[in-house]
Amino acid sequence: MPPAPPAGLRHNVPLAPRTTLGLGGAARWYLEAAHAAEVVAALRWAAAEGVEAVVLGGGSNVVVADAGIDGLVVRLGLRGVERRADGGAALVTAAAGEPWDPLVAATVADGLAGLECLSGIPGSAGAAPIQNVGAYGREVAEVLEAVRVLDRESLEERRLAPEACGFGYRDSRFRRDPGRLVVLSVTFRLEPGGAPVLEYPELARAVAAGGGPPGLERVREAVLALRRSKSMVIDPEDENRRNQQSVGSFFVNPVLPAAEAERVAERAAALGVVADPSEVPAFPAGGEGEEERKLSAGWLIEAAGFRKGERRGPVGISSRHALALVHHGGGTTAELVALAREIRDRVGERFGVRLRPEPVFLGFGGGDPLGG
CATH number at residue 70: 3.30.43.10
Sign (positive/negative) of CA torsion 195, 204, 300, 278? negative
Residue 276 counted as domain residue: yes
Which residues are catalytically annotated? 170, 249, 358
| 222 plus 122 within the same structural domain | yes
Q: What is the pLDDT of residue 4?
A: 86
| 22 plus 117 within the same structural domain | no
Residue 349 counted as domain residue: yes
| 119 plus 96 within the same structural domain | yes
Question: Domain total for the chain?
Answer: 3
Domain residues for 86? 81-229
| 104 plus 217 within the same structural domain | yes
| 336 plus 287 within the same structural domain | yes
Q: Using an 8 Å Cβ cutoff, are 303 and 349 in contact?
A: no
| 39 plus 130 within the same structural domain | no
Domain boundary among 229, 253, 273: 229
Q: What is the pTM of this model?
A: 0.92
In sequence order, the β-bridge partners of residue 83 are 92
Nearest to 52 by CA among 37, 62, 42: 42
Higher pLDDT, 146 or 248: 146
Residue 1 counted as domain residue: no
Query: Residue 111 is part of a domain; what is its CATH number?
Result: 3.30.465.10
Nearest to 61 by CA among 234, 231, 249, 309: 249
| 267 plus 350 within the same structural domain | yes
In sequence order, the β-bridge partners of residue 54 are 73
For the chain, what is the mean pLDDT? 93
What element of type H or E holds 351?
helix 333-351
| 85 plus 69 within the same structural domain | no
Residue 41 counted as domain residue: yes
> pLDDT grade, residue 167 (50/70/90)?
very high
Q: Using an 8 Å Cβ cutoff, are 207 and 145 in contact?
A: no
If you compute the radius of gyration of the chain from its CA atoms, what whole number of angstroms results? 21
Residue 371 counted as domain residue: no
Q: What is the pLDDT of residue 289?
A: 45
Query: Residue 254 is part of a domain; what is its CATH number?
Result: 3.90.78.10
- For residue 270, count other CB atoms closer than 10 A to its CB: 10
| 223 plus 86 within the same structural domain | yes
Residue 258 counted as domain residue: yes
pLDDT in tens, 141-151: 999 999 999 99
Domain boundary among 55, 76, 97: 76
pLDDT in tens, 58-85: 999 999 999 999 999 999 999 999 999 9
Domain boundary among 76, 102, 130: 76
